[in-house]
Amino acid sequence: MNKSISLNENLENYLIAHNEEHKVLKELREFTFRQFGDSANMQISLEQASLLSMLIKLGKFKKILELGTFAGYSSLVMAIASDSDAKIITIDKDVKTSGHAVNFWKKANVNNKIELIQQDASKVLKVFFQEKIFFDFIFVDADKAGYRDYFDICSKLIVDDGLMVFDNVLWKGKVADMSINDKKTVAIREFNDFLKNDKNFDKIMISIGDGMTVCRKKKNLK
């Protein structure tokens, strides 16, 4: 029997009330909805933020990479959750949205932890690989059609026992409706199928927000 429950507005408000949110995170979340309207839904939800924060704290991750900055909310979540000597690199070529992020990072006194690279992520990742720059936590919330390519190179940049987290893997439920075959839906559906069969990572797909998949790189891969 399916024990999942549908998320309505009342239950969503209950979740918000029972998840902690730093005052600057709340301010940034509210600013994003005022500034970008419906596009603000591109940023992770509060419960997703709480999950990311807990993962960072449990793993004590210090070398963190993010693909897809948007307005800097998830970067700020990870910066607040991580230790003082942690470093977060976040990549997004959209200057219009990511340009707002720095002000809120400064307000939360974590801007020294975060480096924003406003370039094409694929090109930056290739440089990281060439220069042997590795990470213990990678969060991917970038263009959905590129997920498979991002996975291929990020799987080489993540250390053993490191985590990779992919957002939007349920894509508003469209991935389960085989009558929907637009480019982004097909790309995420194919990525999910590929990842399910990958033997190099332990993974779990969870129906939080728009769906997240958490992957742990196994040790001693041959």
Query: How far apart are the C-alpha atoms of 77 and 56, rounded to whole Å?
Result: 9
Superfamily of domain 9-217: Vaccinia Virus protein VP39 (3.40.50.150)
DSSP output for 105-172: HHHTT-GGGEEEE-S-HHHHHHHHHHTT--EEEEEE-S-GGGHHHHHHHHHHHEEEEEEEEEE-SSGG
CB 64 within 8 A of CB 90: no
Identify the pLDDT of residue 177.
93
Q: Which amino acid is at 68?
A: G
pTM to 2 decimal places: 0.94
Non-local CB neighbours of 204 within 8 Å, separated by 6+ positions: 213, 214
Q: Can you give the residue ranges of every domain in the chain?
A: 9-217
Render each residue's pLDDT in the chain as its tens digit; 222 residues: 566 777 788 888 888 788 889 999 999 999 999 998 888 888 999 999 999 999 999 999 999 999 999 999 999 999 999 999 999 999 999 888 888 899 999 999 999 999 999 999 999 999 999 999 999 999 999 999 999 999 999 999 999 999 999 999 999 999 999 999 999 999 999 999 999 999 999 999 999 989 999 999 998 765
Could you tell me which of 31, 160, 48, 173 has the C-alpha nearest to residue 103? 31
